Structure 1
Amino acid sequence: MGRENRLKIINQISSLRNSTVLSYVTGDRKNISTRIAPDAIKVIYQHLEKISPKEKIDLFIYTRGGDVLTPWRLINLIREYTDHFSVLVPFRAYSAGTLICLGANEIVMGKMGELGPIDPTVANAFNPQNPNNPTAKIPISVEDVSSYLNLAQEKFNLKSEENLITVFSHLANKVHPLALGNVHRNYLLIRSTAKKLLSLHPLGEDEVVVENIINYLTEKLYAHNYMISRQEANKIKLPVKYPNSKLEDLIWRLYEEYERDLELQRPFQPLEYTDEQNQFKVSGGYIESKKALDSFTFIGKINQDKMMEEPEVNIIQQKWIPLIR
C-alpha cells in the first residue's frame, strides 16, 4: 500500500499547486543511512524525461546532507525542464539539502521544516589519522580551522605577524599543510556554489542579501547540526513560503509515508531481513514520481560462525534500483 498511498498524496499536491512533483528522499535510518550523491542525477533525469513536467516542478526533499557538488548539477538539470522550481520541505533538508533549496524560486516549508548550515567537513589522504582506527582519517570541519585562527586573534589578542606565524605553524605541525589547503579550497567552493545557486533566480540580483545569506549559513551558526526553522530562514531573506493548512497536511502526510515505508525510526538489524542464504536486501532511500520509483538498495550477506561473538555483515552492493519504470 505504500506506493499507492504516496501516489494519492503526490497527485493531490500536484493538483493543488498545478505542478509536477518529484520526491528525493535519502533515509537516515541507523546502520543504513543514505546521502545526496552524484549517482542520483541520472535517475532523476530518467524521471524527468518520463513524466513530461508542467511549467512548475516541486522537489519534495528529505535529507541529512551529502555531497556538496551534487546540488549545482541537480538544479541545473531540473531547470532544463522548468523556469519555476520549488522545494517542498516537510522536515529535514540539511547541508547539501539546504544548498538545493538555495537554487529554488521558492522554499515551501512546513511547521516542522528545517534547513541547516552549509559549512562542509572535508577528508582526503592528508587528513590526520584516527587514533582509534589506524586505517581511517579524521574529517576536518572547514569552520573549525577558521575558528581556531579567530580564537587566537580575537580571544587571545595574538595579532602580530610573529604571533600569527607561531599559531599557524602549530596548526600545520598537527595537520598536514595539504589538508589545510584542501580546507581552504572547500571554503571557497561552498561559498562559490551557494552564490551560483542564488544567482539562478531574482534573489541573486541583490548582492548584499546574497552575501548575508552565505555568511549566515557558513559562518554564523557555530554548529553543523544547527536547525534553521522557517521563521529564521525567512529573516535572512530566503524565498520561504508558508503552505496553507491543506498543503501543510499533505506534505507532512507524504513524509510520514516515506518514514513508515523506509522504517526510519527503527535501527536496521540485518538478521531480521535475511533469506535462506543469509542474504538481505533493504531500501535506504527513494526517488519517486507519478510514473516511476527507484530505491537506493543495500544488498548484503551475513556470515555466521560459531567462533564469532557477533555475525559479520558484508554489504555487497549499494545502488539505485528501478522498482517501477
Structure 2
Amino acid sequence: MFAAQHAGRYARQSLITQYNQLTGANLIVMIDAIFAHNMTLLEELLFDADPEMPLHLLLASPGGDGEAAIRMVRSMQQRCTELTVIVPDMAKSAATLLCLGADHIVMGPNGDLGPVDPQFQFHGGLAGAKELVAAIDEAEARVRVAPDTFPLFANLLAEVNMIMVQQARSALARSQALVDEALRCRTGDQTDEQVRALAEQLEGPLIGESKSHSAVISAGYAQSLGLPVETPDLSSDQWRLVWNLWTRYYTLGCWPAGQTAVYEGARASHIQSPQGM
C-alpha cells in the first residue's frame, strides 16, 4: 500500500538513478524559492554526497535571498568535484546568483536567468527589492507634489514599514558584492583579476540596467556575458531524462514556484505543499 501511494516518488527517483548511471554524476533537484530556512532541506540531499563525484542540480526558482544562495552554492561545491546547474525553465534573482557559483550552467530551450534583484516574502508571495523601493520613492514624490494624495498612498502602502524598506535598500547595495562572492565559489583556475573583471562586466546586465525582475537573460546572452552556459543536445538520453523528470514535477504542481516545493535525490525526497504537507 505504501509503495502504491508513493509510486510517483519512486518513479522520479528511478529516473534520477538512471541519470546518475548515465552521466557518472550525482543529480539532486531543488524547486523552490531560496531562503535560509530551506538550507536544511538542501543539506538533506547533500550530507552523504560523494565529494569525488560531479554534482548536478536541477533548479527552478523565482529567487529569494541572495545570502542564502551563496551559502547553498558553497555547500554544494564542497560536496563535488565540479558543480553543474541545469535550468529547464527559469532561475531568477537569487537563483541566478546560485548559478554564477556553478562551474557549468545547462540551459534548456525555455531556460532563463534574470537580474540579481533581492526578493522578500510578502503577502504569501515574493516582492522585489527594486519594486519595493521604487514604490516608496514614487509615493514620496507624488505626495510632495500633491499633499492631498497622502491618504491614498498611505492606504496603498499600509503594510510596508521602514524596516522593510531599509532591508530592501541594504540588499540592493550588496548585490554587486554577492555577484563577486558567487563567482569565487567556482572550482578551477581563476585569478582575482579574472573574477573582478567578470563581476564588473555583469554589473550592468544583472544589476544596474535591469528595470524589471522578469527581465529575460537567455542562454545566448548569458554566454556573451562570459558565463559558462551550455545548451543541451535535445535528442540525447541525458536531456530526455531531464525533461521526463521536469514534466513529472510540473504536473505535481511544483511550477510556477510558490506552490509545491521539491528537494529530491536518489535517496532523499521532500515534497512540501504551501500548507506544509
Normalising by structure 1, what TM-score? 0.65
Task: Confirm or deny that 1:11 pairs with 2:17.
Answer: yes
Equivalent residue for 2:94? 96
SS of match in other structure, 1:196: helix
SS of match in other structure, 2:273: strand
Shift of 1:40: 2.0
Runs of 4+ that moved beyond 4 A: 121-124, 143-149, 173-181
Equivalent residue for 2:199? 210
Equivalent residue for 1:48? 46
SS of match in other structure, 1:98: helix
Q: Deviations over 1:52-108 (max 9, x none)?
A: 354211111111222222111111111221241110111111112111101101101
**Mind listing any 5+ residue stretches in structure 1 that lack a counterpart?**
27-34, 125-134, 152-166, 269-282, 300-317, 320-325
Q: Deviations over 1:237-267 (max 9, x none)?
A: 11101222313322222110101123648xx
CA RMSD, Structure 1 to Structure 2 (Å): 3.6
Max radius of gyration: which structure?
A: 1
8 A contact 1:119–1:219 mirrored in 2: no
Q: Deviations over 1:19-47 (max 9, x none)?
A: 11111112xxxxxxxx2222221122222
Shift of 1:7: 2.2
Q: 1: CA distance between counterparts of 2:71 and 2:196?
A: 23
Pairing partner for 1:142 from 130, 133, 152: 130
8 A contact 2:180–2:195 mirrored in 1: no
SS of match in other structure, 1:262: helix
Q: 1: CA distance between counterparts of 2:182 and 2:260?
A: 28
8 A contact 1:51–1:289 mirrored in 2: no
8 A contact 2:183–2:195 mirrored in 1: no
Equivalent residue for 1:186? 171
Cα separation, partners in 2 of 1:180 and 1:261, compared to 1, 3 Å: closer
Would you say how many aligned residue pairs link Structure 1 and Structure 2?
A: 250
**Mind listing any 5+ residue stretches in structure 2 that lack a counterpart?**
1-6
Normalising by structure 2, what TM-score? 0.76
Equivalent residue for 1:62? 60
Q: Deviations over 1:124-155 (max 9, x none)?
A: 9xxxxxxxxxx99x967437858999x9xxxx
What does residue range 1-325 of structure 1 map to in structure 2 within 5 Å? 1-26=7-32, 35-121=33-119, 141-142=129-130, 181-201=166-186, 202=190, 205-245=194-234, 246=236, 247-262=238-253, 264=255, 284-299=260-275, 318=276
Q: Which has the higher strand share?
A: 1
Q: Which has the higher helix share?
A: 2
Cα separation, partners in 2 of 1:18 and 1:203, compared to 1, 3 Å: farther
8 A contact 2:263–2:269 mirrored in 1: yes
Q: 1: CA distance between counterparts of 2:127 and 2:223?
A: 32
